[in-house]
Structure 1
Amino acid sequence: MEWGEALGADISSSSLGYLDWYSYCDMDGNTAVTTKSVDIASSLGMLCVTSAGNWGGTMPNQDPCQIPLEHYISAPADADSVISVGAVYGTGEIVYFSSRGPSYDGRIKPEVCAMGAGVIGVQVGSQDNVTTIYTGTSASCPLVSGAAAIIMSAKPDWTAMQVRQAMLSTASNHIAPDTVLGYGIINIADALDFEFSTSSLLSENIVDDFHISNPYPNPFNPKVFFDLDIGSDAFVKIEILNLNGKTISTLLNGNIGASQTSYFWDGSGLSSGIYFIRVTANERHFLQKISLIK
C-alpha cells in the first residue's frame, strides 16, 4: 500500500483479512497494524477498499475478546476510512459466509456489498484469458474497487472521501443501513448522479471573509491545532465530525468579532481514523480533513 501510494495510486484493493491473532475486541478501528495503515493511506488521499471477510457462517465467540476472531469483519475492514465489502448472491441476498458487523465500537460494517458468489473472472496466471468462477468477499471487493475507479475517472474533481460518500449514500440499503448488508449493494449510475449539498460533510465552500489554516500536526496524536482568521463579526460554529458526518465535539458556537485565534482538539479516547474540522460562519462552511493515528 505504501509503495502504491508513493507511486501515485488513487485506489487500494485488498482481498485479505487478519483474524488469527486478533479478537472481536480488537476490531475497534484502532488496534490492528493493517487498520492503522489504511487510515494513514486514506489521510494521504488514497481510497482503500477491502474484503469484509468470509467468517459470517461461524458462531461468534461468547467472549468477544477470545482469539481467534469469528463471525465478524476482520482487519483492516474495521478501519473507519475504508470501504469494507460484503458478498451477495446474484439475487441480492447476503451470502451466508459474508462477515458481519458492526465494528466492536458500534460502527456500521460492512460499508457496501457486491456479488461474491459465482463471479466469473480470468483465471490467475492464465496466458489465454481462461475464465473461472470465484466466490468470497475476495471476489466482491475488486468489483467495488473497479466501480470506484469508474467514478473517479468520471469525476476527477472528487476526493477519495467524496467517492466513498457517494457510493455509500446511493447504495441499495442507504436509508436504513444494517450490520449485514451495510449501506447495501453499490449502484455506479446513482453514485455518478450524487450531488453534494452545501451542508454535506464533504462539500467545501471556501469564502474570503474567514480562513482556517492547515491543521498541525496532521496526522496527529492526540492533539491537533489550527488557526482561524475571521475578517468580520460573525456567528461561528466549530465542530469536529467523524467520517459519517456526526458531530462528536463542538469547540465554538457563538458570536465573535474579527480576530485571528488558535484552537486545538484533543482526540484522546477516540479510535484512529479520519475526522473533519468544520467551521460554519453565516451559513457558509469550510472543511479540513484530519487524521488521528495512534
Structure 2
Amino acid sequence: MKNIFFIFLFSSVVFSQSSNWWIYFSDKACSTDINLSFESVERRSLQGIEFDFYDIPVCDDYIKIINKYDLSIRHQSRWLNAVSVSVKSIDVIEQLKELNFVQEIKRVKTLKNSNKFNGSINLVNNNIYRSFINSYGPSFNQINMLGGVDLHNQGFVGNGIVIAVFDAGFTQTETLPIFNNLWINNQIVDTYDFVNNDTNVFLGSIHGTMVLSTMGGYMPDSLIGTAPGATYMLFRTEDSSSETLVEEDNWAAAAEYADSVGAHIINSSLGYTILYDDTINSHSYNDMDGNSTIITNAADLAASRGILVVNSAGNSGNNDWYYIGAPADGDSVLAVGAVNAIGEVASFSSRGPSYDGRIKPNVCAQGVYTVVADVDSTVRLANGTSFSSPLIAGLAACLWQSDTSLTNMELIDVIQESDHLFDNSNDSLGYGIPNFYQAFLSNLEIDAQFSSVSYFPNPFSNHFTLYNKTNNNITIDIFNIIGDMIYSSILNPWHNNLDLSFAKSGLYFLKIRENNEVFKIIKN
C-alpha cells in the first residue's frame, strides 16, 4: 500500500500498467566531472564531507548506447549508478543484458491501485481565532508544544535554510494568499515535477499545498508556519493515479537533484509499505530494516551528503500493517509520528521499531487537528503524520539557522536529546516530543564547553559571569541581532562580571576579538 500520509476522504480505483526497469551499470569509467552547485559544495564543506564515487555522474557513453534501443529514459541516478527506463518490449531488456557494462536489470511490475484514503478534514470555525491573543491564531498550539514560539522569538524563523518538499502536488500554491510572502520575497526558488518531467508542480494534489503551509505559510491570526523565513524547493514525486514502485524512483531522483542544488533539508510526507496486488514485488515489514528499499537507500545517501531528511512515519497504526514505512525506516532519517494537541499518540500513527530493532519513530509532533491551508483561502484542520513531519522539518530549519556549524546528524542528536521521553523511549512516540527552544539553549551550553571562555547563566536577567580560560587578557564585543555593537570590554583571566542591565531582552552575539569565536547569549 502506498501511503500519502494524510487522512482525507478520497475514493478511486485506478488501473495502471508498467514496463519500467532499473538498468544498473558496472562502473563509471568514462565519468570524471562532479556537477554540483556552489550551495551544495558549501553545505558539504561546512560539514567536512568529501566527494566520493556517489558524486560522479553516470557514464554518458553508456547513456548514449542505451538510447539507441527502443526505450525512454525516465531518470538517471549517480547514487545507484543506474538509469530508470520504460520499454515497450521484453526483447529490449534481453538485448540490454548482453551489454558488457550492464551489471543488473530489475523490473518494476504492474499493480492495481485498490487503496483508499479514509478519514476526514474539518473546517476551522472562525470563532477559534478569537481565543488567541497572538498572531499564531489557531496554529499556536502545534508550534508552541514544540518550543517553536520561543525559538521564533529569538529571531530564528529559518532564514538561509533551504527546504526541499517532496509531495504529490501543490495545487493553488501559486495563488493562495497564505503563500504571498514566499512569492514576494522570492523564497520559492525551484520547482520540478519528477512524474511528468516538467516544472509545473501546481497540479495533482492539494496535499503538498497543505504540507507547505505548516512550514512556509504566513497568515497572521490564522496560520504561521514553523519556518516562514526559509527558502523552499517544491518537487512533485508522487503520482496519485499510479500504484507501482516507480514513485520510489521519482523520490530518489528528486533527492539527488535536491543534493546537487544545495538543499539543506528534505521534508517528505510520502511513504511506501505493502502493495497488496503484487505479493512477489511488495514490501514487507522485513524490508523496513533501513537497507532494503530504493527509497530508503536514497534517503540515507542524501543524509550522507549532509542533508537532514525528515519523513512521516505513516498512518498505519490502526490497520494491519501497523509499522512505519519506507523511507522512515532509514537509520539516518528523522521519522516523525503524530500526537494530538495534548501530546497523546494518535491511533493512526505508525509504530516502531524498525525491523532490525531501532527506535522508530524518532520524534512526534501534532498530527491530529493540525491547522493547514485550505483552497478557499482560509484554513482547515487535518489529521495525519503528513503534517507532523513538516512541523518538525520547519523548526529544524530554525534551529539549524541558530548554529550552521552543526552537521545534519548532530542536529538530529540535539533535537532528540530535547525530547520528553529521551531516557524512556518507546515504539509509539519514539524519543517523544522535542522542545526546540530547549535544544537551542542546550546547544549554547555545548558551544561554551569547548571554547576559550565559559559564561553563566544563559539566559540571564541583567548580569552574567564570563570566565576567561586563557592566561591573557581578551577583548569581547557584544552585538545585537542587527549587528550593532552594544558593549565592548577588556577582560582579565579568571572571572569577570558583566552588567547588561541597559540592554533590551533578546538575542545577542558575544565575539572574542583574539580568536573570532562567537557565542549566542540571551537576555530575559
Cα offset for 1:24?
0.4
Alignment of 1:197-276 (within 5 A): none
For 1:133 and 1:188, the matched residues in 2 are separated by 23
Query: Which of residues 435, 459, 475 is equivalent to 1:187?
Result: 435
For 1:204 and 1:24, the matched residues in 2 are separated by 43
Task: Find the counterpart in structure 2 of residue 130 from structure 1.
Answer: 378
**Where does the alignment leave 5 or more consecutive residues of structure 1 unmatched?**
60-69, 206-294
Query: Which of residues 29, 49, 71 is equivalent to 2:310?
Result: 49
Q: Percent identity?
A: 43
1:119 corresponds to which letter in structure 2?
T
For 2:330 and 2:445, the matched residues in 1 are separated by 26
Task: Find the counterpart in structure 2 of residue 16 from structure 1.
Answer: 270
For 2:388 and 2:354, the matched residues in 1 are separated by 20
TM-score of the aligned structures, taking structure 1 as reference length: 0.61
Question: Are 1:28 and 2:289 counterparts?
Answer: yes
Per-residue CA deviation, residues 159-181 of structure 1 (Å, 9 max, x unaligned), is 11111100011111101111110
Q: Where has structure 1 moved over 2 Å in runs of 4 or more?
A: 194-198
Cα offset for 1:197?
9.1
Task: Find the counterpart in structure 1 of residue 95 from structure 2.
Answer: none
Task: Find the counterpart in structure 1 of residue 362 from structure 2.
Answer: 111
Cα offset for 1:196?
9.0
Question: Are 1:79 and 2:330 counterparts?
Answer: yes
Per-residue CA deviation, residues 35-81 of structure 1 (Å, 9 max, x unaligned), is 0001110000000000000000024xxxxxxxxxx000000010000
Cα offset for 1:195?
3.8
Task: Find the counterpart in structure 2 of residue 4 from structure 1.
Answer: 258
1:57 corresponds to which letter in structure 2?
N
2:304 corresponds to which letter in structure 1?
S
Task: Find the counterpart in structure 2 of residue 223 from structure 1.
Answer: none
Cα offset for 1:129?
3.7
Task: Find the counterpart in structure 1 of residue 67 from structure 2.
Answer: none
1:88 corresponds to which letter in structure 2?
V
1:15 corresponds to which letter in structure 2?
S
For 2:303 and 2:341, the matched residues in 1 are separated by 31
Task: Find the counterpart in structure 1 of residue 415 from structure 2.
Answer: 167
Structure 1 residues 154 and 132: CA distance shift in structure 2, 3 A? same
Structure (1/2) with the larger helix percentage: 2
Question: Are 1:91 and 2:342 counterparts?
Answer: yes
For 1:197 and 1:181, the matched residues in 2 are separated by 27
Task: Find the counterpart in structure 2 of residue 100 from structure 1.
Answer: 351
1:101 corresponds to which letter in structure 2?
G
In structure 1, the residue corresponding to 2:324 is in which secondary structure? Answer: coil
For 2:444 and 2:296, the matched residues in 1 are separated by 28
For 1:112 and 1:76, the matched residues in 2 are separated by 15
Cα offset for 1:194?
2.3
For 2:414 and 2:335, the matched residues in 1 are separated by 15
1:12 corresponds to which letter in structure 2?
I
In structure 1, the residue corresponding to 2:271 is in which secondary structure? Answer: coil
Larger radius of gyration: 2
2:258 corresponds to which letter in structure 1?
G
For 1:16 and 1:204, the matched residues in 2 are separated by 40
Task: Find the counterpart in structure 2 of residue 257 from structure 1.
Answer: none
Query: Which of residues 392, 395, 404 is equivalent to 1:144?
Result: 392
Question: Are 1:177 and 2:428 counterparts?
Answer: no
Cα offset for 1:130?
2.1
Task: Find the counterpart in structure 2 of residue 158 from structure 1.
Answer: 406
Structure 1 residues 161 and 196: CA distance shift in structure 2, 3 A? farther
For 1:87 and 1:71, the matched residues in 2 are separated by 14
For 1:141 and 1:16, the matched residues in 2 are separated by 10
For 1:184 and 1:118, the matched residues in 2 are separated by 19
Cα offset for 1:105?
0.4
What is the count of residue pairs matched by the alignment? 189
For 1:15 and 1:204, the matched residues in 2 are separated by 37
- Using the TM superposition, name which of 37-46 and 155-164 deviates more: 155-164
TM-score of the aligned structures, taking structure 2 as reference length: 0.35
For 2:310 and 2:324, the matched residues in 1 are separated by 13
2:371 corresponds to which letter in structure 1?
I
Per-residue CA deviation, residues 197-254 of structure 1 (Å, 9 max, x unaligned), is 99xxxx999xxxxxxxxxxxxxxxxxxxxxxxxxxxxxxxxxxxxxxxxxxxxxxxxx
1:115 corresponds to which letter in structure 2?
Q
For 1:119 and 1:18, the matched residues in 2 are separated by 23
In structure 1, the residue corresponding to 2:361 is in which secondary structure? Answer: coil
For 1:38 and 1:196, the matched residues in 2 are separated by 29
In structure 2, the residue corresponding to 1:100 is in which secondary structure? Answer: coil
In structure 2, the residue corresponding to 1:87 is in which secondary structure? Answer: strand
For 1:171 and 1:7, the matched residues in 2 are separated by 32
Task: Find the counterpart in structure 2 of residue 285 from structure 1.
Answer: none
